[in-house]
Chains A and B, each alone.
Chain A
């Protein structure tokens, strides 16, 4: 190892460079590490790139890579990496050593991945494409990687690569296994390169040029033919390598989706693999078949293998292969084979692994609904589902049954009968009780004629399950009972007795107790007519997208999207259903709903309904387009609570949500919502977070301030599944409505946002804020949009307070006291003594003060408990120096806050703002 100075700074670098120059010709090994080490020691980016440039020059490509990694790992001057990029490009394309070309291509790729902007597109692209013709296979491999990545962003620039890739591919595919010597792997010529080339071709649609296309098709056919040939070697490596190419070929064929011939051939090939000994092969064959099934040309061909797949589902030893088989069955299902597939899947469900049961349940439910010819079959299927795997049937599934039964007159009687029979089983799942309770409550009258299911029998059957159920189910059953009173007056006495029982009226659970009280009174006070009106049959639910599909997608989690999703359905359109679960409130910036879904997919599936409280028991069933806060499980509930003012904790209280339902005139800005001040206070000491949230809209804020300038990003998230129209957020400063915005103390520039916000989507708005002079009231943000035809308006206070323009100042104790004395006029000081609202914690207080914007000065106050801060408020017109002192008194739980600034209103305002924070 040459003696390289470990000295610092430029001198060290100079020594290093001269060392390198001196040793330039010395043979390489040790240099590589030496170089990397030095790059780390000097640490300065400029130096690093010098090293990189130099070393790439001399061909020490390893150090080149190390250097480049250092370069890209840090935030560095763009110039440096740009030059690196250019050099990389030049090496890539000039006539230099193969290994240099290869590394340059990979360096470029790395650089591009780290920051796509740094690699300028230019005429060199053509030369990069021509690397595909290079003699050296390594160079070609590297170039293909690079081009694949680049052409995703700039497909047009690299279009020329198609024909080159095709010719390269055909040369490889048709070559004899000995031609490529070292690149032949177990008699398969260059498998990895072929795979990469095929993958590159998947970035583009089928080639337009007939000659190129012909050649490509020929290649693909050769590959398929080869799969039929007897293996040249018994080794598993040989067949694996061959199959690697084959599978990539098949995915290219699927991607093109235009050659029915090839598709069918591919499908047959996969069909053979389905019975292959090799587990890996079966697994992958099932997986590719899933994608094949989505193509209309091959769908029929895939269906011919149904028996094999079902067999795989039954006999396969490996759980992951079984799961793939289930996926495939789901994908190849259509109207003609739905019954068979669903029954097979139901049968499989009884023995399925616990891990995949829920998914299978969902899939069965979807298939049953999608392809149901008659709804009695559908009802049967779902009830079977609940019977077999009740634990895995999530709320969405049985809500859906209820929706469908309610909407279809023809199945109601059948459903009631089947449910009744199912409930007669000695042990039935709680979900079954729920479905049963609901259906009998609604349609029990349809089967009451039969003496075997007369009203008293129905009631006693349901009530026999009552005590075994969770609170949520019991609440539902109580609602059923009151419906019974309406449907069958003869049961009234029995039911009233049940409701009157101490265990109901004095139930520890508020929800149950409330229902018992209300229902009991309702049944005795109201006349029959009133009862009949209140407890009328539920109206049909509006048809909308099945929530089960959304659930299935959510389960899959991000990135796991396989070919099962048809892409026809918008994955985020069912956000309302998702809203049942608590949204994580600590997210600093509101993420688009897709992220939220992703987050929710993480915890174990389907929290038990009971834990969420009875409130959302039927949210899914009931939430209409208006996203009404459906707190009580039935609409009667709301009605009841009006009838019964003394009921404990009336759910109406929550109906009075201060959602901005008023529709102000077109030009005036409504008063800020009542919580605006409170919301604003949350942001005094922090810059990012969720500013506002209701059922429709979430507004998140991200902001940064420097001196008298600030930039704020507002994120508006549509939480519903419906598009917002005429969406227009505006910022105004109160009192300045008539005058131009620029004359206010704050200059706020807003960028317009799109007038439409799609369901589940999020739009971003950027505000540039300049503080011209000090101000006391924050600007107002007025958001207006139309939701489902109804205009909505909402006014919030924008979290811009004067302290955002605080510039912290460090000063010594002496200086501090000197300035403190200078600001001794009584009007310059503002003092407040107040009680602590939060626990007194020194660290938290410190963080808050820093967030407020002032510098914290240690060792200034003689009492170490006290906090002392200083800063300057920067506005365009003037700067306001500001000193503060906070004296906590732990015994009394009180604070004394003193502020001295050169401007009287500022002192008072800051004092008020800060006092609310502790």
Chain B
């Protein structure tokens, strides 16, 4: 989500209808954008625990239903995702995510599957997509 409140990328690991998703995102974004720097990165929203992190103009927001989840682990997972994206795009920015949304989804899918962390190893995560890139350059 960028600072203007536009959603750039979202993934869900539970079933919500499209309207529900829009409402949820809207409320969530308003909540997160209204927070200031000195406030902590965790908040309770409906039944979700929200953990967010801000990178320049981008907010990365993760919501978890499970009540006893480790906030710091999620917080660092966000950072790790960003680092992996950074490694792949070389200086990742909002435009990278916007214009290569398929790849970004792909990378996130390598990291998280059905809401479970698969792998946090940067080389492992990027291996398939690099392979795919190589293949598409050849053809």
Please tell me if the beta carbons of B40 and A240 are within 8 angstroms of each other in the complex: no
State whether the Cβ of B41 lies closer than 8 Å to any Cβ in chain A: yes
Minimal beta-carbon separation of B18 from chain A (angstroms): 16
**B40, B65, B122, B128, most chain A CB atoms within 10 A:** B40
Shortest A141–chain B CB gap in Å is: 6
> Do A145 and B116 touch across chains, with their CB atoms under 8 A apart?
yes
Docked CA distance A28–B135 (Å) = 8
Pair B75/A280 contact, Cβ less than 8 Å: yes
B113/A106 in contact, CB under 8 A = yes
Complexed CA–CA distance, A30 and B128 (Å)? 12
Residues of the A chain whose Cβ atoms lie less than 8 Å from the Cβ of B109: 62
Is B118 touching A102 in the complex (CB atoms < 8 A)?
yes
B40 contacts A321, C-beta separation under 8 Å = yes
Question: Which residue of chain A has its CB nearest to the CB of B113?
Answer: A106
Residue-wise interface mask of A (79-122) relative to B, using a CB-CB cutoff of 8 A (1 in contact, 0 not): 00000000000000000000000110010011001000000000
Any chain B CB within 8 A of the CB of A185? yes
Is A182 in contact with B122, judged by CB distance below 8 angstroms? yes
- List A contacts of B123 (CB < 8 A): 182
In this complex, the interface size class of chain A, counting residues with CB under 8 Å from chain B, is: 35 or more
Taking CB atoms, residues of chain A closer than 8 Å to B114 are 106, 109-110, 113
Contacts of B72 in A (CB 8 A): 240-241, 243-244, 247, 280, 284
- A138–B47 CB distance below 8 A: no
B101 shortest CB reach to chain A, Å:
14
> Given A199-B70, A240-B75 in contact, is the A280-B42 Cβ separation under 8 Å?
yes
Partner of A141, one of B40, B42, B119, B135: B119
A29:B131 contact, CB within 8 angstroms: yes
Q: Is the CB of A320 within 8 A of B40?
A: yes
CB interface residues, A 225-252, toward B, < 8 Å: 237, 240-241, 243-244, 247-248, 251
Identify which of residues 62-84 in chain B touch chain A, using a CB-to-CB cut-off of 8 Å: 65, 67-68, 70-73, 75-77, 79-80
What is the minimal beta-carbon distance from A687 to any residue of chain B, in angstroms?
A: 25
CB-based contact A28/B131 at 8 Å:
yes
A27 and B135 contact, CB distance less than 8 A: yes
With A28-B131, A182-B123, A248-B70 as contacts: A280 and B118 at CB distance below 8 Å: no
CB of B4 closer than 8 Å to a CB of A:
no
Residues of chain A from 269 to 289 with CB closer than 8 A to chain B in the complex: 279-280, 282-284
Q: How far is the CB of B130 from chain A (nearest CB, A)?
A: 10
B24 within 8 A of A: no
Min CB–CB distance B39 → chain A (angstroms): 4
Let me know if B22 is at the binding interface, CB within 8 A.
Answer: no
| Interfacial chain B residues near A488, Cβ < 8 Å | none
| A102/B73 contact (C-beta < 8 A), A65-B113, A110-B114, A283-B42 known | no
* In the complex, A558 has a CB within 8 A of chain B: yes
Shortest C-beta distance, B114 to chain A (Å), equals 5
Q: Is A195 an interface residue (CB 8 A)?
A: yes
From DSSP, what is the main secondary structure of chain B's interface residues? mixed
Within 8 A of A (CB), among B84-136: 109, 113-114, 116-124, 128, 131-132, 135-136
Contacts A29-B135, A102-B119; is A195 near B47 (CB within 8 Å)? no
Within 8 A of B (CB), among A173-197: 182-183, 185, 190-192, 195-196
| Cα-based distance from A352 to B124 in the complex (angstroms) | 49
A75 smallest CB distance to B (angstroms):
14
A241 / chain B contacts, CB cutoff of 8 Å: 72, 76
Q: Does A564 contact B (CB under 8 A)?
A: no
A318-B38 contact given A106-B113, A244-B76, CB 8 Å threshold: yes
Question: In the complex the two chains form, what is the Cα distance from A321 to B36 in whole Å?
Answer: 13
Q: CB of A137 within 8 A of chain B?
A: yes
Is the C-beta of A142 less than 8 angstroms from some C-beta in chain B? yes
Docked Cα-Cα span, A190 to B119, in Å, equals 10
Within 8 Å of chain A (Cβ to Cβ): is B17?
Answer: no
B39 lies within 8 A of A559 (CB): no
Using known A-B contacts A247-B72, A318-B38, determine if residue A192 contacts B43 with beta carbons closer than 8 Å. no
Q: Chain B contacts of A102 at CB under 8 A?
A: 118-119
Kindly state the separation between the CA atoms of A602 and B54 in the bound complex, as whole angstroms: 30
Q: Interface readout for A318-337 with B: 1 if CB under 8 Å, 0 if not?
A: 11110000000000000000
Taking CB atoms, residues of chain B closer than 8 Å to A185 are 76, 80, 120
B121 touches A318 (CB 8 A): no
What is the bound-complex CA distance between A137 and B124, given in angstroms? 11
Q: Does A247 contact B70, Cβ atoms closer than 8 Å?
A: yes
**When chains A and B are docked, how far (Å) is the Cα of A30 from the Cα of B137?**
12
Contact residue among B47, B76, B79 (Cβ-Cβ distance under 8 Å from A560): B47
Complex: A284 Cα to B75 Cα, angstroms: 12
Q: Is B11's CB within 8 Å of the partner chain A?
A: no
B25 to chain A, nearest CB (A): 20
Q: Which B residue sits closest to A137, measured CB to CB?
A: B121
Contacts of B73 in A (CB 8 A): 191-192, 195, 244, 248
When the two chains form their complex, are residues A237 and B41 in contact, meaning their CB atoms are under 8 A apart? no
Task: Point out the residues of chain A lying under 8 angstroms from B76, CB to CB.
Answer: 185, 191-192, 237, 240-241, 244
Output the least CB separation between B73 and chain A (Å). 4
| A289-332 interface (Cβ within 8 A of B) | 317-321
Q: Which residues of A contact B116 (CB under 8 A)?
A: 106, 109, 142, 145
Residues of chain B within 8 A of A248, CB atoms compared: 70, 73
Distance in Å: Cβ of B99 to nearest Cβ of chain A: 19
Can you list 18 residue pairs at the A/B interface with Cβ under 8 Å? A28-B131, A28-B132, A29-B135, A29-B136, A30-B135, A106-B114, A137-B119, A145-B116, A145-B117, A183-B120, A192-B120, A247-B72, A279-B40, A283-B40, A318-B40, A320-B44, A559-B67, A560-B67
Binding site for B on A (CB under 8 A): 27-30, 62, 65, 102-103, 106, 109-110, 113, 137-138, 141-142, 145, 182-183, 185, 190-192, 195-196, 199, 237, 240-241, 243-244, 247-248, 251, 279-280, 282-284, 317-321, 557-561
Nearest 4 pairs between A and B by C-beta?
Answer: A244-B72, A29-B132, A279-B40, A138-B119
9 A-B pairs besides A28-B135, A185-B120 with CB distance below 8 A are A102-B118, A244-B73, A247-B71, A279-B39, A280-B72, A318-B39, A320-B42, A558-B47, A559-B47
